[in-house]
Amino acid sequence: MDKNQSIVNVDAEKVTTDLANSTISNTANDLKENADVPTFPMPRTLPLRPPPDYARLRKENPISKAKIWDGSVVWLVTRHHDVSKVLTDPHFSKVRTHPGFPETGPGGKAAAHAGKPTFVDMDPPEHTRHRGMVEQDFTKKKAEEMRPKIQQIVDKILDEMLTKAQPVDLLASFALPVPTLVIYHMLGVPYEDHEFLDTCNAIRTNGSATSAESARASKDLMDYLARLVDKKTQNPTNDIISRLAIEQVQTSKLTHDELVAMSFLLLVAGNATTANMIALGTLTLLQHPDQLAELRRDPSLIKNAVEEILRYVTGSQFATRRLALEDVEIGGQIIKKGEGVWALNASANEDEDVFSNATRFDIHRQPNPHLAFGDGIHVCIAQDLARVEIQIAIETLIRRLPNLQLAVPADELQYVTIPKRDFGVAALPVKW
């Protein structure tokens, strides 16, 4: 068995009780010690760059404590080797209902205890069983086979964008529709339902909706997916939901509600992140015109360029939270049972011991062992699909729009800075 897939055989109820006791003990013992720890998340000083505190921590205190929104204290892990160790060690849990698991805000904490979890919030063996049901749909081979369909979707979206008056918000008009329409196709969402789902997703992700509005949009999506699962069960077609309904639900390996929750996860989990990487990748290239020109001259560089985009701007930075199931040594530091850990993949991606000239954007960088998609058994299941989507979207965009440029000065762009949300632009106005 792969070391990353080792299973820690523990009794769930005993673990929860022990972790609760450990959390109480650790909190009581560490109050005085943690009085002066810094606050996390840490601020950025440049829009597209990680917080400068990360570089200082890698050098001076690579595994250190910080205080998060609710006053609890977590360990920040900043170096590439140590981040990878946390993400691959089975003694760190992804189960968010464990006492002390670090959450990004009160909404996340409430969501963690509402309803049944999906595989992204499970540990083995449940994680292995549930994730295994859909891994075949997100292999590298499958992603490569999807290239013609993704290219068709990208061209159609770009054709529609070109009919609009300039300037156009590239995020809303191009970057977000690409991964959204791809996953609609894979799940088997009927075309006539796209507008309804788009509206629900927009409310959930635009950042300006109230918590009640977001909750209502999520419920509307869940209700819709429940009806879609019923339809696919009765009249299956060639898509993921139909396959799971036949292979898993009808054989009692998965309940109806579990399939609805899994469908919801697949529908929404990676869309915003992939869209942000398309938008941020385009912005980064526009800010490095020499490398953009080189990429236009030699489109074969697109795969390498996308890997560097993933490393350089690291759109997903909030999925790498864990909780220690027992005392674990990381980089010479003992992390106690019941303590929360934030493995900072954005910091790992600029580790000077792994990446030469780490703060420089370089589309020729090789090797490029970035951790943008995480590591270990919880590495992003759709990483290969996301790669292909970003590659096709950016290559098509810069090929078909040779005069693409920002429609506002770069310093007037608005960025998403809400701590509980992954990094991105609020909008990307462009013209051509």
State residue 317's pLDDT score.
82
- Bridge pairing between strands 73-77 and 340-343: parallel
Based on the residue annotation, tell me whether 36 is a catalytic residue of this protein. Answer: no
Cα 98 to Cα 19: distance, rounded to the nearest angstrom: 7
Choose, from 30, 198, 220, 422, the residue flagged as catalytic.
422
Q: Domain range for residue 349?
A: 40-431
- CATH number for 51: 1.10.630.10
134, 378 contact by CB (below 8 A): no
Statement: residue 341 has pLDDT above 50: yes
Cα 383 to Cα 375: distance, rounded to the nearest angstrom: 11
- Tens of pLDDT, residue by residue over 58-79, are 999 999 999 999 999 999 999 9
Residue 6 lies in a domain: no
Residue 417 lies in a domain: yes
Based on the residue annotation, tell me whether 273 is a catalytic residue of this protein. Answer: yes
pLDDT band at 4 (very low <50, low <70, confident <90, very high): very low
State residue 217's pLDDT score.
87
Choose, from 104, 205, 316, 347, the residue flagged as catalytic.
316
Longest CA span, the chain? 63
Question: Which of 37-41, 84-88, 176-180 has the least mean pLDDT?
Answer: 37-41
Choose, from 123, 274, 380, 396, the residue flagged as catalytic.
380
Tell me the one-letter amino acid at 301: L
State residue 270's pLDDT score.
79
- Tens of pLDDT, residue by residue over 236-260, are 999 999 999 999 999 999 999 999 9
Residue 9 lies in a domain: no
- Tens of pLDDT, residue by residue over 159-169, are 999 999 999 99
Task: Supply the pTM of this predicted model.
Answer: 0.90
State residue 416's pLDDT score.
80
- Tens of pLDDT, residue by residue over 67-121, are 999 999 999 999 999 999 999 999 999 999 999 999 988 877 777 877 778 999 9
Residue 379 lies in a domain: yes
- Residue with the larger pLDDT of the pair 249 and 33: 249
Query: Per-residue pLDDT averaged across 310-326, rounded?
Result: 92
Angle ∠(425,431,432) on CA atoms, nearest 5: 135
Angle ∠(260,264,265) on CA atoms, nearest 5: 120
The sign one gets for the Cα dihedral 385, 320, 421, 134 is positive
Q: Measured between alpha carbons, how far apart are the two ends of the chain, in Å?
A: 53
Tell me the one-letter amino acid at 168: V
What token pair was written down for 308? 């560097």
Based on the residue annotation, tell me whether 316 is a catalytic residue of this protein. Answer: yes
- The domain tally of the chain equals 1
pLDDT band at 8 (very low <50, low <70, confident <90, very high): very low
Cα 423 to Cα 139: distance, rounded to the nearest angstrom: 26
Residue 26 lies in a domain: no
pLDDT band at 22 (very low <50, low <70, confident <90, very high): low
Residue 32 lies in a domain: no
Residue 378 lies in a domain: yes
Residue 12 lies in a domain: no
Choose, from 104, 273, 282, 347, the residue flagged as catalytic.
273
What is the SS3 assignment for 69-92?
Answer: CCCCEEEEECCHHHHHHHHHCCCE
Alpha carbon 144 to its chain's center: 21
Cα 130 to Cα 36: distance, rounded to the nearest angstrom: 42
